[in-house]
Amino acid sequence: MVTIKQIAELCGVSRGTVDRVINKRGKVKPEKEQLILETMRKLNYSPNPAGKALAARKKQPTVGVLIPSIGVHFFDDVISSMQNAARRYASYGLKIIWRSMRGFDEMEQCQLIDELAPQVQALIINPVNGQAVLERLNALAAEGLYIVTLNNDLPGLRRHCYIGTDFYSGGRTAGALLQMIGARELHIGILLGSHKMLSHQRRLEGFRSALEERFKKGAPGSWEILSVQETEDDDILAYEEIKTLLQEHPETNAIFVISSGASYGAARAVQAAGRAGSITMVVFDTIPSTIRMMQAGVIQAALYQHPHQQGRRAMQVAFEYLVNGAQPEKDSYIMRNEIRIPENAEE
Amino acid sequence: MVTIKQIAELCGVSRGTVDRVINKRGKVKPEKEQLILETMRKLNYSPNPAGKALAARKKQPTVGVLIPSIGVHFFDDVISSMQNAARRYASYGLKIIWRSMRGFDEMEQCQLIDELAPQVQALIINPVNGQAVLERLNALAAEGLYIVTLNNDLPGLRRHCYIGTDFYSGGRTAGALLQMIGARELHIGILLGSHKMLSHQRRLEGFRSALEERFKKGAPGSWEILSVQETEDDDILAYEEIKTLLQEHPETNAIFVISSGASYGAARAVQAAGRAGSITMVVFDTIPSTIRMMQAGVIQAALYQHPHQQGRRAMQVAFEYLVNGAQPEKDSYIMRNEIRIPENAEE
DNA sequence: TTGTACGCGTTATCAT
DNA sequence: ATGATAACGCGTACAA
């Protein structure tokens, strides 16, 4: 690989001049600049990340992590992988400041953002929906903060990179799966966290679209949605709601749980009603309780959102920006929604 | 993070002495060695990979890649990801020598190994089954060559790291899936590449075990395997075999294709017999022709072996050994067998 | 406008 | 047995 030094020698200038061209610091004669750019292009120069990393240490590169993860089991795996990556990157001199919170209060998140911002050059955040957060983050981005959003991409937010899944496609996959593994005449109960959560809404839309499409294309049978209930991601609420549903609609033979915070409660209600196995349950995320319920034959399938990859990738993007001075290849990294059944969910 | 320099100052010795302790080069007074080891442990010293990478350049680190990939579409994605990783690592000064071959001839692979060995310090290889290859590689490993095996792990081979999938678990997942999405009374035709291929055999065993288990546990219905045919990974052969099967056993309502080299041929035969959709097809790998056949409703599901992750990881392991002087965290990286249906297979 | 010199952490060589 | 010193590639402060 070609180095700055070699470029400099070839162009008959000093290393410093080449560097000024590369980092656009000006104060270089136009004709020399042209020559340097040309030979760089010709020799396909690309900076050695190791050199950059070494030099970057002086800046004390620090990234802040802010996730409303308390009580949300989906984030457990995301965070464990982020910590893993953080350990590796620590040997390069990268520092991390961790902040978590419970619930989705906009003002609380703003406060934590303000606390982190002066200490870090990059921020990995699962942003709460809301105008205040949006404005706060956009202001900081304008001041030069590097922002990576995780699992929720606020419209209008000028973040540098987004990492998450395609909610609509996740819903479609769930719907198609239910058509494949469920009864011919589907009577479906649905639980979501809240109608206000954009991600849950999109999943529901995708779910409907896939079912509609498959039956329109000639899949035998029929489908109907009996109810769509909000659970606030609470297992007890979910338990009660499914209990009521099964009483009022004994014909229920399929349940779709859109967020992991309700799947255990729903599964327990199905079990309690003696309907385990005769009701097809499709849920999101393979948290430990879900895996147990799959092995027990209560939940038939779960959608896996690659939490580990999400965490690893988020850290990597922040690391490469701060330490290697590199932009990510893509503006957003969208993980696939995978299908897990007992046979391929085991650890 | 703490550096060698800091350790040296704290112990009142020079950097060279600390280095000699770290790399076990001897010539250090026992009491000083103890002191240095102790403070390293106490301060939790871990070497900065950037420094190592910079110093490693002088050794001209080079890795050889040897895959019998010609005509095997599964490897297309593996190799594309390896090339991607290679591009990134090239900026660190890592060189790659690529070799591919057609078919699985033992002697041909030995010859290519001998050609590569003197030029490289690490080798990424999909080893052909056979005694000659085994001995050749073990001899080279003893001489200090770093060996990463990909997608096939020869018993008795002293490789440093293996990257691949769990074939048995892949078969189990396929069997369970067929039970879930197929007819109640399953009449199954199976295609595999060759009975001699260990991986295909293991998948078949897993397939049988999952079906047996599920029906024993109370799944309604029954299952039988009508035939297990070898295809030599040839689509034309597969086409003819499925054609014959459907004539001789019109009751066939499920087909399991164990290797991607036969799935297109099998799908075409199902189409030609006018049985698309009424026969449940489960195959391995999401190569382009398989995705098309899924979208056309001929193949219902495919098992995805994370080819991209496999390629990326193999390169990463070789890179980190040669450039960062680091051993991988695990002795083997086993990718999961994912389930893909049309709704989550689209690009 | 341009060149020089130092530091980042590691490895390796050469004196002592 | 030990210490000093020169690379490796890059960023930057400072001198010319």
Q: Is B173 an interface residue toward A (CB < 8 Å)?
A: yes
DSSP B258: S
Q: Which residues of B touch A346 (CB under 8 A)?
A: 169
Alpha carbons A51 and B59: distance in angstroms, whole number = 17
Q: Does B92 contact A49 at a Cβ distance shorter than 8 Å?
A: yes
Q: Please compute the mean of the pLDDT values over residues B281-305 and round it to a whole number.
A: 97
| Strand C–CB B1 distance below 7 A | yes
Structure tokens at A121: 């050059």
Give the residue among A329, A306, A302 at the shortest CA–CA distance from A317: A329
CA distances from B256 to A14, A74, A114, A156, A177 (A): 65, 34, 57, 47, 19
Query: Across the interface, which of B47, B91, B346 has its CB nearest the CB of A47?
Result: B91
Alpha carbons B163 and B124: distance in angstroms, whole number = 10
Alpha carbons B318 and B5: distance in angstroms, whole number = 28
Residue nearest to nucleotide D7 (CA to C1'): B55
User: Model confidence over A95-136: pLDDT tens digits?
Assistant: 999 999 998 899 999 999 999 999 999 999 999 999 999 999
Q: Is the pLDDT of residue B52 over 90?
A: yes
Q: Is B142 an interface residue toward A (CB < 8 Å)?
A: no
Give the residue among B85, B80, B61 at the shortest CA–CA distance from B69: B80
To test the contact with chain A by mutation, choose from B344, B346, B347 the residue with the greatest count of A C-beta atoms within 10 A, namely B344
Contact B155, B137 (CB under 8 A): no
Alpha carbons A172 and B174: distance in angstroms, whole number = 21
SS3 label, residue B70: strand
Sorting pLDDT into bands at 50, 70 and 90, what band is A286?
Answer: very high
Q: Which residues of A touch B172 (CB under 8 A)?
A: 343-344
| Nearest chain B Cα distance for residue A193, angstroms | 23
SS3 label, residue A147: strand
Query: Based on the number of CB atoms within 10 Å of its own CB, is B33 exposed (0-12), middle (13-18) or buried (19 or more)?
Result: middle
| Strand C–CB A5 distance below 7 A | no
Q: Does B344 contact A172 at a Cβ distance shorter than 8 Å?
A: yes
Q: Does A48 contact B93 at a Cβ distance shorter than 8 Å?
A: yes
| Strand C–CB B121 distance below 7 A | no
Q: Is the pLDDT of residue B13 over 90?
A: yes
* Residues paired with B302 in a beta bridge: B283, B340
Query: Across the interface, which of A48, A277, A339 has its CB nearest the CB of B339?
Result: A339
Q: Is B249 an interface residue toward A (CB < 8 Å)?
A: no
Interface subset of A 54-113, CB within 8 angstroms of B = 54, 90-93
Q: Is the pLDDT of residue B313 over 90?
A: yes
Nucleotides of C under 7 A from a protein CB: 1-5, 7-14
pLDDT at position B347 is: 63
| Strand C–CB B16 distance below 7 A | yes
Q: Does A1 contact B93 at a Cβ distance shorter than 8 Å?
A: yes
Q: Nucleic chain C: which protein residues 17-56 of B have CB below 7 A from it?
A: 19, 22-23, 47-48, 50-52, 54-56
Neighbours of A243 (CB within 10 A): 17
More confident residue, A104 or B287: B287
User: Model confidence over B18-32: pLDDT tens digits?
Assistant: 999 999 988 899 999
Interface subset of B 257-296, CB within 8 angstroms of A = 277
Q: Is the pLDDT of residue B286 over 70?
A: yes
In angstroms, what is the C-alpha Rg of chain B?
25
Q: Percent of chain A, pLDDT > 90?
A: 96
Contact A189, A255 (CB under 8 A): yes
As a rounded value in angstroms, the CA-to-C1' distance for B37 and D1 is 17
As a rounded value in angstroms, the CA-to-C1' distance for A17 and C2 is 7
DSSP A240-302: HHHHHHHHH-TT--EEEE-SGGGHHHHHHHHHHTT-BTTBEEEEE---HHHHHHHHTTS--EE
pLDDT at position A27 is: 85
Contact A314, A163 (CB under 8 A): yes
| Strand C–CB A13 distance below 7 A | yes
Q: Which domains does chain B possess?
A: 4-47 (1.10.260.40), 56-165+307-335 (3.40.50.2300), 167-304 (3.40.50.2300)
User: Model confidence over A37-70: pLDDT tens digits?
Assistant: 999 999 999 999 999 999 999 999 999 999 999 9
pLDDT at position B196 is: 85
Residue A329 CA to chain centroid, in angstroms? Answer: 17
Q: Is A325 an interface residue toward B (CB < 8 Å)?
A: no
Q: Please compute the mean of the pLDDT values over residues B9-38 and round it to a whole number.
A: 92
**Tell me, what amino acid is at A213?**
E
Sorting pLDDT into bands at 50, 70 and 90, what band is B340?
Answer: very high
Q: Does A91 contact B210 at a Cβ distance shorter than 8 Å?
A: no
Residue B88 CA to chain centroid, in angstroms? Answer: 21
Structure tokens at B59: 């050794």
Q: Which residues of A touch B51 (CB under 8 A)?
A: 50, 54
Interface subset of B 289-318, CB within 8 angstroms of A = 297, 300-301
Q: Phi and psi (nearest 5°) for B131?
A: -65, -40
pLDDT at position A68 is: 94
Alpha carbons A263 and A282: distance in angstroms, whole number = 9
Q: Does B175 contact A217 at a Cβ distance shorter than 8 Å?
A: no
Query: Across the interface, which of B46, B177, B344 has its CB nearest the CB of A169?
Result: B344
Question: Whole-prediction pTM value?
Answer: 0.95
Alpha carbons B62 and B98: distance in angstroms, whole number = 11
Question: For A117-197, where are the alpha helices, taking DSSP H only?
Answer: 131-142, 167-181
| Nearest chain B Cα distance for residue A166, angstroms | 10
Q: Is the pLDDT of residue A291 over 80?
A: yes
Question: For chain A, where are the alpha helices, taking DSSP H only?
Answer: 4-11, 15-22, 30-43, 49-56, 74-90, 106-116, 131-142, 167-181, 198-216, 235-248, 263-272, 288-295, 307-322, 342-345
Q: Which residues of B touch A175 (CB under 8 A)?
A: 343
